[in-house]
Chains A and B, each alone.
Chain A
Amino acid sequence: MEGVVRRWWVAGPAVSIVTFAVILGLGAPAFARHNFSMLKVNPEVGFAGGEVSVSGFSYPMNAKVAIRFNAVDGPVLAELDSTANQDIGGTVRIPTDTPPGRYVLYAVQSDAAGKPNRIPGRGAMTVAPRDSPPPAVPTGFELDSRPNSLIRSDGAGTGQLALAALAAFALAGLLGLLMTRIVVSRKTTDSGPAGR
C-alpha cells in the first residue's frame, strides 16, 4: 500500500509536468504581443556584499540589459548581453551596505540616449543578515482583509414605520369620528320630529 502511495506521489507531479508541457506546446503558437521580459534571481535569499545569479528570457536579441538594484533607475549591478535566443544570464553582487529586507532587481533595456524603452524584467530577492535567519518581509502575496458579505438596506427605519403606523391610526381615527358624526347626526335628524 505504501508503495502504491509512493508511486502516486511520484507519478502525480510527473503527469502534471508532462501535461503542462503539452499545454505549453499547444500554447506556443499564440501570437503574444506582450512579450514580457522575465527575470529570476537565484538564490532568492542573499547577503549584502554577496553574489546571486540572475537569468531571464524574452529580451530583444543581442541587446544590452542593465541589472539595476531596487529601482528602474537604481545602481547598475551588471550589464548583460542578451543572446540570439533572447535570454540573459549572469552574476551580480548585492551592494555591501544593503540592510536586510526585500528588494527588487530590474533588467532595464534602454535606447541610445539611455532612456528605458521597454517594460523591464523584475525579480524579487531577500537580503538576509549573515548571522540570523532571513527577516519576515512582505512577499507581495499577502491577503487583504475584505468583508464577506454585501451591505443590504434595512429599508424604512423603525421610527419611520412607527410614524406611518401612527399616521394610519390617526387617519382611521379621523374617518371613524367623521363616520360617527354622520351616523349620529342622521339618527338625530331621523328621530327629531318623532320625539317632538
Chain B
Amino acid sequence: MRLRRRGLSDVARLSLATLLLGAPAAVAAQPTPIRVTSAVNATREDVNPNRTYAAPVIAVDPANADHLVAVAAEVRSRGCGFLRSSDGGRTWNRPETSPAHKDYPFCFQTETGPAQAVVAFGRDGTVYYAYAGWDVGDTLSDWAIGQGGGWRGNVSVILSRSTDLGETWETTVVRKARGLVGDAQENNRPVSTLAVDTSGPQDVVHVGWKASFRDRNRPMSAISRDGGRTFSEPIDLTGGHFEDESVRQGLAKAAKMERTPAVAAIDFSWPDLTVDGEGNLYAVWAARLLRGPQLDNSGTYLSRSSDGGRTFTVRELSPLPEVFYYPVLKWSAQGGPKGTLHLVYEKEGPQRATWVQDIFHIRSLDQGDTWSKAVTLNDDGEPAKLVGQFHPNMAIAPNGRVDVAWWDFRNDGGNFANDVYLTSSQDNGTNWSPNVRVTDRSIGRRIGVWYGNSDIRQAPGMIATKNTTVIAWDDTRNGDETTQSQDIYSAVAQFGALEPGTPEAAQYGLAVASGVAAFGLLFLALVASRKRRAPTAPG
C-alpha cells in the first residue's frame, strides 16, 4: 500500500514537472533589422499611357491592419482617385465608385508640397476623404489668383465618407465657395490635412486647408462632431495671434522691414493637423511677410485648442530666419501623461547652400510649450557632396514606433533621380535607426510631373502598424519621354514577424485539448481492457 502511495506520489510529481515544463514560455521580442519588400505597382489597373499619378496619401484601419486606403491623384484627368488594399499593402485595387462629389469632380491643384487630397480612418472602418473640389465653371472667375488647374477662382472644401471601404460614398460640402462673386470670392486650396478623433461617442473630424481671399489668406479648419455629416463654420487657426502689433513688429524685424505690416499683408501656408488623446487639436503652419519661392522667409507656428477650435494659443516654433520647410506634425501616446508631439521638417544642412536640405526631427512632451533640440535624420554623411533631402512624412505605429520617410537624392548619378529613405525610432524619437532605402530603384525625375517645371511633388505617403510601415510614392519607371507616365508604387518595411495565421493562443488550446483527449482515449482503453479481463461472476 505504501509502495502504491509512493508510486502515485511519483506520478503526481512527474505530472506536475511535465506540466511546468510544458507551460508556454513567453518569447521575448527580438529587435529585427528593417526589411523592405519589393515594390508593387498600385495603379497597375490603369493602362492608359498618359496616366500621371501623383501625391499618394495612405491610411490604415486601426481595427484591421490589413485594410489600407490611398489617395491617388491623376494629374491629367484632374481627379483625385482612390485605391484600397485588403492585404496590408501587398496588392491594391480601385473601386468603381469615385469618392468625388458629383458637382465637384476635380481636385487637382498645382501647389508644391501639400497633398492633392487627404484620407483618414475613423471608427468601424469608416473612411474619410477630403479634397479641394471644383468644376470647370468655378475657374471662370475674373479673380486672377493664378492661372489654370483650379488655381483661379472659387474652390470649395469637400468631405466624402465611406463605411464599405470605398464601394459607396456620402459627400458633404464643408465650405462652399461656388457662386461667390467680387470681394466675397474665396479659393480654398490646398485641402492639406484631415485628423479624426475617435475617443468620444462619435468620430470628431477636423479638416484643414488654406483659404485665400482677395485681400488676405489664412490657414483654416472646420470641425464635425457627427462623423463628417455636418461641419462648423471655418475656423481661423491663427487665433488672432497677429492682431497683436508687437508680434507683427517681431515678424517685420526678422524680415528686415521698416514698417509694421497689417495682418492682411501676412502670407500664410496651409496647415497640418493632429489631435491628442484628450481631443486637443494642434495645427502647424507658416507665416511670412516677404513673398518669394514657397515658404521661404517663413516662421513656423503651432496652434493648440482645447475647446474644439473655439480658441487657440499660438507659439512660434522657428523664429526667422530659421525656416522649417514642409513641417509634418503627429501626436503619440508615448512619453508621459501628455504624450508626445513629433515634428519633422526639411531645412538647410550644415553646408548652408540653397536647397541642400536635411531632414530634422523635434519633439515636445508638454503639448508644444517646449521642444527638444533638432536632430538630423538623414545619415548620408557627406555634406560636401551637396545632396538634398526633401519632403518628409511621418507615421506613428500603435506601439509608439515613430517612422519618418522622405525624398533623397543621395544615389543620384546625374540622372536627376531620387529615392525614398526611411528611418525609425523605437524609443519615442530619442534614437533613430540607420537610414533604409525603400524604393527598389531610383526614380528618374527628368520625366513625369515631380519636376520639369510642373513641380507636382509631395512627401511619400506612409502609415505604420505594429510590425510594418507601408510607404507609397509616385514613380516614373514605366514612363518615357513620350508618355511621361507616372504610377503609384508601394513597399512594406517590416520591423518584426507578423502574427501567425492561427493565433498562438488557439495553437496552445489545440495542443492542450489533444493532450487531454489522448489521456481520455488511453483511459477508456484501459477501462475497456480491464472489463474484458475481469472474471465473470458465476451464475
Contact = CB atoms under 8 A, between A and B. Distances in A.
Interface of A: 12-13, 15-17, 19-20, 23-36, 38-39, 41, 72-73, 102-105, 115-120, 122-125, 138-144, 146-156, 160-174, 176-177, 181
Interface stretch (B254-262, B360-368, B413-421): B413-421
Interface stretch (B141-149, B172-180, B275-283, B372-380): B141-149
Interface of B: 8, 11-12, 14-16, 18-25, 35-39, 49-50, 52, 75-76, 88, 90, 108, 110-113, 146-149, 151, 293-296, 325, 351-356, 384-386, 388, 390, 411-417, 437, 440-442, 444, 446, 449, 451-456, 468, 477, 482-484, 491-492, 494, 497-504, 507-508, 510-516, 518-520, 523
B353 A169 contact: no
19 contacts: A15-B50, A20-B50, A29-B148, A36-B416, A104-B413, A138-B413, A139-B415, A147-B37, A153-B498, A156-B24, A160-B22, A162-B22, A164-B23, A164-B515, A167-B23, A170-B16, A170-B22, A172-B519, A173-B519
A170 B416 CA distance: 68
Given A36-B416, A124-B415, A139-B415, A29 B19 contact: no
A66 B36 CA distance: 39
Contacts of A143: 440-441
A177 B444 CA distance: 75
Contacts of A34: 112, 355, 388, 390, 451, 455
B354 A147 contact: no
Contacts of A162: 22, 511
A124 B444 CA distance: 12
A176 B523 CA distance: 8
Name which of B21, B22, B50 has the most chain A CB atoms within 10 A of its CB.
B22
Contact of A30 (B18, B19, B49, B110): B110
Given A104-B413, A165-B512, A172-B515, 10 more contacts: A27-B449, A28-B454, A30-B456, A34-B112, A34-B388, A140-B415, A147-B38, A161-B508, A166-B22, A181-B8
Contacts of A177: 8, 11-12
Contacts of A38: 416, 446, 451
Contacts of B516: 168-169, 171-172
B22 A140 contact: no
B385 to A, nearest CB: 6
Contact of A16 (B49, B108, B386): B49
A151 B497 contact: yes
Contact of B50 (A16, A27, A165): A16
A30 B454 contact: yes
B482 A119 contact: no
Contact of A31 (B112, B437, B491): B112
Contacts of A33: 112-113, 293-296, 325, 355
Contact of B386 (A116, A146, A151): A116
A30 B50 contact: no
B38 A167 contact: no
Contacts of A149: 37, 90
Name which of B36, B386, B446 has the most chain A CB atoms within 10 A of its CB.
B386
A160 B354 CA distance: 60
Given A165-B518, A167-B21, A102 B511 contact: no
Interface on chain B toward A: helix, strand, loop, or mixed SS?
loop
A28 B112 CA distance: 11
Contacts of B39: 146
A124 B412 CA distance: 9
Contacts of B498: 150-153
B353 A31 contact: no
Nearest to A36: B451
A33 B111 CA distance: 10
B292 to A, nearest CB: 9
B515 A168 contact: yes
10 tightest CB-CB pairs across the interface, nearest first?
Answer: A168-B515, A124-B414, A167-B22, A163-B22, A155-B500, A170-B15, A27-B454, A172-B519, A32-B455, A165-B515
Contacts of B147: 28-29
A16 B519 contact: no
Contacts of B112: 30-34
B508 to A, nearest CB: 5
Contacts of B456: 27, 30
A124 B24 CA distance: 59
A13 B501 CA distance: 48
Contacts of A28: 110, 147-148, 453-454
B25 A160 contact: yes
Nearest to A152: B498
Nearest to B148: A26
Nearest to A149: B37
Contact of B15 (A20, A118, A140, A174): A174
Nearest to B417: A140
Given A150-B498, A164-B23, A141 B441 contact: yes
Nearest to B296: A33
Contacts of B38: 146-148
Given A38-B416, A140-B417, A19 B76 contact: yes
B411 A152 contact: no
Contacts of B454: 23-24, 27-28, 30
A144 B355 contact: no
Given A23-B75, A31-B293, A72 B385 contact: yes
Nearest to A167: B22
B419 to A, nearest CB: 10
A28 B152 CA distance: 13
